[in-house]
């Protein structure tokens, strides 16, 4: 989906949906016990604390970095973000859920503030993303929304497993 091809109302709705993800996470996860926040799914899927730290780091080091580089460089080579490897290396399960939520909220607000200032001509700036191919700034909001949607699904599935 190309952000610039959407009608203005749909662009605003997309950014609003992105803005709501931190609240969704808080609603879904803040009432969990500390033990549950560290419990992975039966299939080995991320625990809630791993979810929020993955989202925070990807928001900063994935989406944020890509947005910044696409704005400031000509045809940048954008690295992949290996979320599983980073989760292990940074020991996400040992970290604080509330600190992860705060980090995600701050990074998401920063990215949305940047996206809201991009000029019409700059939305077409593009580069090569490792493992994906050519990407443009106008792809970033949809990529972020798709990623949010995937994590909403993972959290719903995790909660269903825990409830059994």
Cα atoms in the 13 Å half-sphere on the side-chain side of 107: 25
pTM of the model as a whole: 0.95
Is residue 52 within 8 A of residue 97, CB to CB? The reply is: yes
Q: Is 116's pLDDT higher than 60?
A: yes
pLDDT confidence tier of residue 162, bands split at 50, 70 and 90:
confident
Q: Per residue, what are the HEC states of 51-79?
A: HHHHHHHHHHHHHHHHHHHHHHCCCCEEC
Per residue in 36-72, pLDDT tens? 999 999 889 999 999 999 999 999 999 999 999 999 9
Structural domain harbouring 32: 3-163
The reported pLDDT for the residue numbered 1 is 47
CATH code where residue 82 lies: 1.20.120.450
Domains of the chain: total: 1
């Amino acid at each position: 989906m190309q952000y610039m091809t959407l009608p203005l109302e749909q662009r605003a709705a997309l950014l609003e949906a992105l803005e709501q993800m931190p609240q969704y996470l808080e609603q879904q996860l803040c009432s969990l016990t500390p033990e549950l926040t560290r419990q992975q799914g039966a299939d080995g899927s991320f625990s809630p604390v791993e979810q929020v730290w993955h989202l925070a780091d990807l928001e900063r080091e994935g989406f944020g970095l890509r947005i910044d580089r696409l704005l400031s460089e000509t045809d940048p080579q954008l690295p992949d973000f290996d979320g599983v490897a980073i989760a292990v290396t940074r020991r996400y399960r040992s970290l604080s859920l509330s600190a992860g939520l705060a980090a995600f909220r701050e990074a998401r607000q920063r990215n949305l503030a940047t996206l809201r200032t991009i000029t019409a001509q700059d939305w077409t700036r593009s580069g090569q993303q490792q493992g994906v191919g050519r990407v443009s700034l106008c792809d970033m909001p949809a990529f972020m929304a798709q990623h949010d949607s995937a994590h909403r699904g993972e959290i719903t599935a995790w909660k269903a497993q825990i409830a059994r």
